[in-house]
Amino acid sequence: MAEAAPLGKRGLAGGARVRAYALMEARVKAGIWVSMALRLADIGGRSGAVLRKGDPDSGGILCILRGRAGLVVLSQVRDAEGRPAWLRGTGPAPVDDAAADAYVARQVKRDPDLWVVEFEAPDLQPPFEGTLL
């Protein structure tokens, strides 16, 4: 039986190729993720709707949270360690419809594969689990 390769400084088996595979993470297709988020919203008693369909496999996602105080648009990003997270694209404070629409329009112009999903969120919290940056 072959002996395991010694661990490098980063705790991974030697070789850049092995390190790259160890750091890769499975990614859910965008269309499946959107379906899951809509289902979670429904289970939680909140409504949700797809405002714009993007690429079903690899499209990015914008989530509009419609609350009592206004709207927040969350943009799908990665944190410093490469884990999925959500950035408040419209800033920390809720904005009005015009500001949210302008942000979404700018993002869609840059990336036509984006999905845009809106959720009723009185507390401005998404119906799914995620790290908010």
Amino acid making up residue 82 = G
Give domain 30-120's CATH architecture: 3-Layer(aba) Sandwich (3.40)
Region of 89 please: left (phi>0), alpha (psi -120 to 50) or beta.
Answer: alpha
pLDDT digits (tens, 9 = 90+) for 102-116: 999 999 999 999 999
pLDDT digits (tens, 9 = 90+) for 10-42: 554 544 444 444 455 667 899 999 999 999 999
pLDDT digits (tens, 9 = 90+) for 36-65: 999 999 999 999 999 999 999 989 999 999
Confidence at residue 24, expressed as pLDDT on a 0 to 100 scale: 56
Please name the residues in contact with 18: beta carbons below 8 A apart, sequence gap of 6 or more: 5, 12
**What CA–CA distance (Å, rounded) separates 47 from 115?**
17
Region of 125 please: left (phi>0), alpha (psi -120 to 50) or beta.
Answer: beta
Q: What is the pTM of this model?
A: 0.79
pLDDT digits (tens, 9 = 90+) for 78-132: 999 988 899 999 999 999 999 999 999 999 999 999 999 999 999 999 999 999 9
